[in-house]
Amino acid sequence: MPHHGSCRAEVQYYGEIYFKAWKTATGDILMTIEQSCIQDLMFFAVHAKRQGSHSLAAILVQLLGYFTKQKRLQGVDKMLCTLYEPILWRALNAANPGVRVNAAYLLIDAFPLQDPESNKESMDAILQKQIDALNTLLCDPCPTVRVTAVQGVCKVVSVYWELLPAAAVSSFLAKLIQDQVYDTSSPDVRVAVFKGLKYILDNPLSHPLLKHTLPSLGDFIHDTSEKVIISFLELLLKVKGIRTIKVSSIVSMEHLLARLEVASAPLARRLVSLLFNSFHPLTKKLISRSRG
C-alpha cells in the first residue's frame, strides 16, 4: 500500500493493479482476491483514521473508487454489492462516528449499489435501503457525519435524479432546505447545504422544483457565520446564470445592499458581482442618480 502522503496518481496506479488482477482471475484465485484483498480494503477503509485529505481512510476510499469508476463493465456492480454487504451496513450504524463517516464516504462513492442479476423487486429494495441510510445519516448526532451526508445526498440527487424515485428526490430536498440548512449547532452543515444546492443546480431537471423552494432561504444573507453567507452568495451567483430562476425571488436588493454596507472584503466582492449582474437595470439607475 502507498504511504499517507501518496499522490493521487500513485493511488490510481494501485487501484488499477487490484482491478486488473480481479478482472483476469477465475475460480479460487478470484475468490481469494475478492475476499482477502478487495473486501479487506473495504474493511480497513471503514475502520481507518480520517485526518486530512491524505489520511489512510481517504486513500482507501480513493483506491476503492477505482472499482466504482469501472461499474459500466460486466460483473463490477454485482461484486461491489456483494462484498460491501457484510461490512457497509453494520458500519453505517457503528457507535464510533469516525466509522460512520468512513462508511458514508464509501456508500456515496459506490452509489447506487446494485446487483443487475437480481429481479426488479430486489433491486428496488437495495436502492431504498441506500436512500434510507442517507436519510439516517442526515440526522446523525455527529456534525462531521451530517456534513458528509449533505454532500453525498446533493451528489446523489444531482447525478441520479432520474434513477431516484420522485418521492425520494422531494424528501431529500425538503430535508436539506427545511432542516439541515437550519442546523444551528454547525455552520459547516449550513455551508454544505448551500454548496450542495449549487451542485444540484448543475442538473437542469432540478430547476422547476428549486425555483419554488429556494425563495425560503433569503434570510441567510444575514446569517451569523460569514462562511455561511459566502456559500449562500455563491449559490446566488450560480442562480443568476439560470434563466428560469430569479435572484430577486430569493433575496431582495434592499437586503443585499444592507449586507453590503457592513460586508468584509470577501463578502463585498461577491455582493458587487451579484448586484451588477442580477439587478442591472436598477443598479444603473442607482449609479446615474449618484452621479447626478
Task: Give the chain's domain count.
Answer: 1
Question: Rounded to two decimals, what is the model's pTM?
Answer: 0.88
Whether residue 256 contacts residue 221, with contact meaning beta carbons closer than 8 Å, is answered with yes
Does 250 reside within a domain?
Answer: no
pLDDT digits (tens, 9 = 90+) for 239-260: 999 999 999 999 998 898 888 8
Retrieve residue 244's grid coordinates. 428560469
pLDDT value of residue 280: 53
Does 68 reside within a domain?
Answer: yes
pLDDT digits (tens, 9 = 90+) for 91-140: 999 999 999 999 999 999 999 999 999 999 999 999 999 999 999 999 99
Whether residue 152 contacts residue 194, with contact meaning beta carbons closer than 8 Å, is answered with no
Does 99 reside within a domain?
Answer: yes
Domain of residue 59 covers: 1-117
Mean pLDDT score, 142-157: 98
> Considering all CA atoms of the chain, what is the largest pairwise distance in Å, rounded to the nearest integer?
85
Retrieve residue 196's grid coordinates. 450542495
Does 47 reside within a domain?
Answer: yes
Residue 213 CA to residue 200 CA, distance in Å, equals 13
Retrieve residue 113's grid coordinates. 449499489
Whether residue 247 contacts residue 212, with contact meaning beta carbons closer than 8 Å, is answered with no
Does 42 reside within a domain?
Answer: yes
Residue 216 CA to residue 100 CA, distance in Å, equals 31
Does 137 reside within a domain?
Answer: no
Does 292 reside within a domain?
Answer: no
pLDDT digits (tens, 9 = 90+) for 172-198: 999 999 999 999 999 999 999 999 999
Cα 258 to the chain's mean position, in Å?
32
Does 32 reside within a domain?
Answer: yes
pLDDT digits (tens, 9 = 90+) for 24-83: 999 999 999 999 999 999 999 999 988 766 788 989 999 999 999 999 999 999 999 999
DSSP H or E stretch at residue 198: helix 187-200
